[in-house]
Amino acid sequence: MSSTGPLPPLADLHRHLDGSIRPSTLAELCARAGRTVPPDLVFTPAMGLDAALSRFAFTLSVLQEPAAVRRVAAEMCEDAAAEGVTTLEIRFAPQLHGGAPPEAITDAALEGAAGRAGILLCGLYGEPASVLDRLVQIAAARPGVAGIDLAGGPAPGNATGMLDYAPAFRRARDLGLGRPVHAAEGRPPEEIRMAIEQLAAQRIGHGTTLLSDPRIVALVLEREVTIEACPTSNVHTGAIPSVAAHPLAKWLDAGVRACLCADNTLLSATTAAEEIARARAIPGMTEDKLHRAITFGHQAAFRRA
C-alpha cells in the first residue's frame, strides 16, 4: 500500500438524520416519551434491507417534533466536525415527521444545521409521486436545501416505480437542485441507468452492482456520476458479504468517481473516519485511492447558486 501522507479533511455526502442520532440523545428523547431503546435497534450483518429499514420506525417515533429534528441536525454537524468532516450533507424525509408540516420540519433541520451542512429531502420508493413534487417545492423555496433524493428500495407491491418520479426529478434539475438516488443496492445495475437517464441523477447511493454491466459503467463515466459508497451499511443490508468485498477499489481503478460515506452513524455504529479505516482492508486499496475518494466527495457536494 503506497503512502501519500496524512489524509485530508473528510467529506460525507450520505448521512441520514433518523439513523444518525447520538445514543445519549436517543436515550433522552426516549425517556421524555416514556420509552426505552430496543436492545436490537442497531443493524447487524446480512440482516437485509427490509429489516434495516424497519429500524427507522423507532427512531422516527421520537423525532416527530421540530425541536428534536433541530437538535439532531445540530448534533450531527458537531459530530461530523469532530470526525474530521468538513463537507457534510444530511438527508431525511420531512413527510415522515408528523409533528409539524414538512415545511416546518425542513426549516427545523436547516436551523439545526445552520449552514454547516447541505440538507437533502428524501422521497421514498413506493410513495406517491405527489410527495416528491411537494419536496421539490419545499426545496426550491429554501436555498439551504441542496437537493432531493429517492431513498429506501423498490418493493414488488409498490404502486409507483422509479419512472413515476421522473417529472419531479427533472423539475428539480431545472431548478438547480441536486439529485442523488439510492439505486442498485444489491439489486440489478439497470436501476443506475434508469436513475441517470430518467431521473437525471448526479450521484448514486450504494450502487454496489455497478461493475456487473460494462455499459452502465461507461454511462457513469460519461456523465461523471459520483457513487456514494457506504461499505458498513452494505454489509448490514446484505448487499455485500464483507467490507473487503466492496467494489470501491475496483471502481476507482476503472475511473469511477466514488466517495465514502457513513450512511447511518447510530444504526450502523460507524463514522466517516471509521469508514476510511475499514476501506483500507479492501483488496487493492491504496492511500492514493483513498485520497481520490475523499476528493471526489468534496467535489460532488451540491452547491446552489
What was the pLDDT predicted at 101? 98
Instruction: Give me the chain's average pLDDT, please.
Output: 96
Per-residue pLDDT of 94-147, as tens digits, reads 999 999 999 999 999 999 999 999 999 999 999 999 999 999 999 999 999 999
What pTM does this model have? 0.96
Per-residue pLDDT of 253-283, as tens digits, reads 999 999 999 999 999 999 999 999 999 999 9
Which domains occur in the chain, in start order?
10-300 (3.20.20.140)
Long-range interactions of 275-278: CB distance < 8 A, separation 24+: 275/230, 275/231, 275/232, 276/7, 276/10, 278/231, 278/232, 278/243
The CA distances from residue 86 to 28, 118, 185, 242, 277, in Å, are 28, 11, 26, 28, 17
* Rounded Cα distance, 184 and 218, in Å: 16
The CA-CA-CA angle for residues 264, 265, 270, to 5°, reads 115
Per-residue pLDDT of 220-245, as tens digits, reads 999 999 999 999 999 999 999 999 99
What was the pLDDT predicted at 277? 96
Per-residue pLDDT of 283-303, as tens digits, reads 999 999 999 999 999 999 998
Residue 3, pLDDT > 60, answer no
* Rounded Cα distance, 186 and 97, in Å: 28
